[in-house]
Amino acid sequence: MSQTKKQDVREAILAAAFRLFSAQGYSDTSIPAIAREAGISTANVYVYFRSKMDILYTLYEPWLKERLDRLDRSLKKIAVPQERLERLLAILWRDLPRENNGFAKNIMQALSTTGGGDDYSPHLRELFQGRVAVLLADCLSVTAAESQVIAGIVLMAFDGFAMNVHLEHGMAFTASAARLFSRMLVGSQPGTAR
């Protein structure tokens, strides 16, 4: 098979998986469904990807990086650190979980179904947490280690907001929650009046 054909098949698999993950979620999408959507055999999917998780990771990493780059650019336009922090939280807790019909929830669905033998890698979590830690450090007077801890907490909240994005009675983001959390973080810094 020519390299062009191989790349076309691989891209068809990824496009089909993205459509299905966005429409019905990771849990309700099967490899045979991805194959049907891509117009190929199920066995052919495994020529290109080890697992459904491998397909998701291949899609999720560039999706996430693109959004983090966009977030970074938008935050650079905000001069006041607390306003930057509130905007960071709003994007992470409201906007990102809603994008592409809640695409972010797919990673949580995938991780909740992994077993010991699955091909899980902490790479995406580490990438996400590292980038958020840098953005937080730009808003707060904290050490790099403290920024990593805060980023971990912010991402745990992100996970919850992403999982609840389609629930009618789930925990929804509010601007007042972002403002309160922002004030808590800013108020807990050394030299800040209480």
Q: Is the pLDDT of residue 155 over 90?
A: yes
Average the pLDDT over 55-77 and give the result.
95
Stronger pLDDT, 2 or 80, i.e. the higher one: 80
Which residue has tokens 């994005």? 165
Q: Hey, what amino acid is at 13?
A: I
Q: Where are the domains of the chain?
A: 1-49, 56-187
pLDDT single digits (tens) 134-146: 999 999 999 999 9
pLDDT single digits (tens) 3-26: 658 889 999 999 999 999 999 999
Q: Is the pLDDT of residue 44 over 70?
A: yes
pLDDT at 165: 78
The pTM of the full predicted model, rounded to 2 decimals, is 0.84
Q: Is the pLDDT of residue 186 over 80?
A: yes
CA distance 154 to 150: 6
Q: What is the mean pLDDT of the chain?
A: 88
The Cα-based distances of 55 to 9, 69, 89, 142, 152 in angstroms read 13, 22, 28, 37, 25
Two structure tokens written together for 100: 């592409």
The architecture in CATH of the region 1-49 reads: Orthogonal Bundle (1.10)
Two structure tokens written together for 154: 């912010």
Sorting pLDDT into bands at 50, 70 and 90, what band is 192? very low
- Are 18 and 24 in contact by the 8 Å Cβ rule? The answer is no
Average the pLDDT over 114-138 and give the result.
85
Give, as one character, the DSSP assignment of residue 25.
-
CA distance 54 to 44: 14
- Are 74 and 87 in contact by the 8 Å Cβ rule? The answer is yes
pLDDT at 194: 38
Sorting pLDDT into bands at 50, 70 and 90, what band is 163? confident
Two structure tokens written together for 50: 């080890």
76-94 core/surface letters (b: 16 or more CB in 10 A; e: else): eeeeeebebbbbbbbbbbb
Q: Is the pLDDT of residue 98 over 60?
A: yes
